[in-house]
Structures are given as structure tokens and as C-alpha cells.
Amino acid sequence: MKPALSPEILLQATGRLTQNTPFSSHRFRSLLFSERMNSVQYRGRLAPSPTGYLHIGHARTFWIAQQRAEAARGNLVLRNDDIDAVRAKMSFTEAMLEDMRWLGLRWQEGPDCGGPFGPYEQSQRRALYEAAFKKLQTGGWLYPCRCSRKDVLRALQAPHDADEGPIYPGTCRPNPASPGLSDKKDPCSKTKLNWRFRVPDGESIEFVDGCFGRQQFVAGRDFGDFVVWRHDDVPSYQLSVVVDDAAMQITEVVRGADLLLSTARQLLLYRAFGFSPPAFYHCPLVTDEAGVRLAKRHDSLSLRTMRLQGITPEMARERMSREWSSAQCGIK
């Protein structure tokens, strides 16, 4: 097995890649579960964020991830995605670990048991994210953006998906004939800037999902230039998970279907870094009685509340099994 990814290795990894590197669709195609397992030891991951109590939807996704790791006789990694220092709470981290163990989830590497790819808390991995940002910036993939979310909404007339947010209209995207904002990150600047990844407009991003089959998204139509470093000096979800999954040598990412579109963005980052992407398996979402997908605000369906109500782990797993049977994937 290769050594864990270091900032130095990351900075060297993409020396010949620039924003003009030709698109090669076969590099983006995520392999099916069985194909990937023939050549590489399976490494899956659980990556909860400690910003609230875990609900039954998280639990089902994590349980599926564990089943797939066990079926492949591989390892399961627990990573604490606590990068959002404002919303992440130690109390939620402690509850997360306790509730996951109560449910019967077991992992071979993690913040509580260590492993060769630590640290397993995103809050302790900033050096990797900074090296990744520098590599993207040097390669010409990024540009600074002053636009707030309100600015983006104001510039758009068309409706947009509430979960995904509006497609960025390119207000701050540099024009070759006009340099615009400086493309250098100035730590002394008081101007609040997001840093966006310039997507290749019109390119079709394709991958085969282990659950939903072939997926196709068009850059610039289905999603626009996206933030990789936030104005509050925090790396974005898109950047951090790609860097961490590559560094931890994850071979399959199991997560909810609400992140299918994010996979297209992340595949662009994998290409920019020169990394081979993992396989992807997106689980159908669990919804409440009104058909609304579960969120951490659904306290009545949190594992913590279920435990307080006297529900046993066996009862919780039975419920997950029923939910799964009523929302099967398109393919397996």
C-alpha cells in the first residue's frame, strides 16, 4: 500500500497539469464495485459531520457502507468531517461515536482507534488543504470571487434547486482581455473573497454509479464554477473530501443520492490533481411522512431520540431494512 498523501507529495503530483489539459472521459468513469474489487483492496469510509445528531438516513447509509466493506473483506474508515468550526461541536462528536457504536457500526481506522492515514479529523488536516489550494491556484484552475450568495441570487432570474443553490453566473470569472481581480491569495487583504474552480463549460462529465447506474452532467449547464476556498478562510466540502479520500486511499465512496451532482464537481478536482477517482455508490434518500428528505433538524428521527424512546439497535436496523427495500437502487 502506498504511503499516506503528504502536502509535499500533493504539491508534486500535478506538475504537468494545467487548466488546458484535455478532457478524457474514460479517466472519469467510476468503476463498478465488482470491477474495482478485483484489483485493489477495498477501503470504504464513514464521514459524518458533527453539526447535529445523526438520523436514520445517515444510519442507513453508514450501514450500507459497512455491509459493502464486509462483503469485499476490506477496511472501513471513520473520518470526522469537523471542518466547519462554527457549527461543529464536541458534544455532537461524542454523540456521533456513541450512537454509531450503539447501532452496531464498526470501523478499523478512525479518530478513536488511529491508523496509518491519520489524523482522522478534518480540523487537523489543514496543511493538506492548503497544499491542494496552492496546486490548483498554480495550475490556473482558480479565480477570486467577491460575490455573496445574495449577489448570485440577484444576478439570476431562473429558478434553481434549493439544495444545490443557484448556478454561478460567472460575474467575477476573469476575461482573458481583462485581468480583473488578482489571482494571488493575499493573507493580509481585508476583502472577503471566495475562490472558485473554473469548470470547463459544455463538457459532459460521466460516471457509473454503483446504485443508480450511468450518470451524466454538463459543466456550465447543470453546475457552474464552484467554491473551493471560502471567504472565511475555510476549505470547501468539495475540496476537503477529494483531498481526504485520495490521501486515505478510499476505493469506494458510499453516500446519499443528494450528492450525485457533487460527484461531477469532485471528478473535475480529481482530474486537476491527477488522481484516480474512487468508485461511487449513492443511496436513495430516506424521507419523512411528508416526503421531505431527512435533515438533522428531524430530531424525532435522530438515533439519539430513538434510543431515548427505548428503541433497540435491532429494531433500528429492521427499520433501515424496510426503508431500503422500499427504495431500491436502479442497479446493484
For residues 118 and 20, the model is more confident at 118
Q: Are 67 and 33 in contact (CB under 8 A)?
A: no
Please compute the mean of the pLDDT values over residues 310-331 and round it to a whole number: 73
Q: Are 73 and 42 in contact (CB under 8 A)?
A: yes
For residues 3 and 77, the model is more confident at 77
Of 110, 60, 40, nearest to 211 by C-alpha is 60
What is the greatest pairwise CA distance in the chain?
Answer: 66
- In which residue are the cell numbers 472521459 written? 25
Q: Which domains are assigned to the chain?
A: 7-325 (3.40.50.620)
Strand 252-256 to 204-209 pairing:
unpaired
C-alpha torsion angle, residues 264, 267, 269, 275 (rounded to 10): 170
Element (H, E) at 211: none
- Kindly tell me if the per-residue pLDDT of 17 is higher than 60: no
- Kindly tell me if the per-residue pLDDT of 14 is higher than 70: no
> What pLDDT sits at residue 291?
56
> What pLDDT sits at residue 280?
98
* pLDDT-wise least confident of 124-138, 163-177, 189-203, 265-279: 163-177
> What pLDDT sits at residue 34?
36
Please compute the mean of the pLDDT values over residues 297-325 and round it to a whole number: 80
> What pLDDT sits at residue 153?
73
Q: Are 252 and 278 in contact (CB under 8 A)?
A: yes
- Kindly tell me if the per-residue pLDDT of 8 is higher than 70: no
* pLDDT-wise least confident of 68-77, 100-109, 203-212, 316-325: 316-325
What are the cell numbers at 309? 424512546
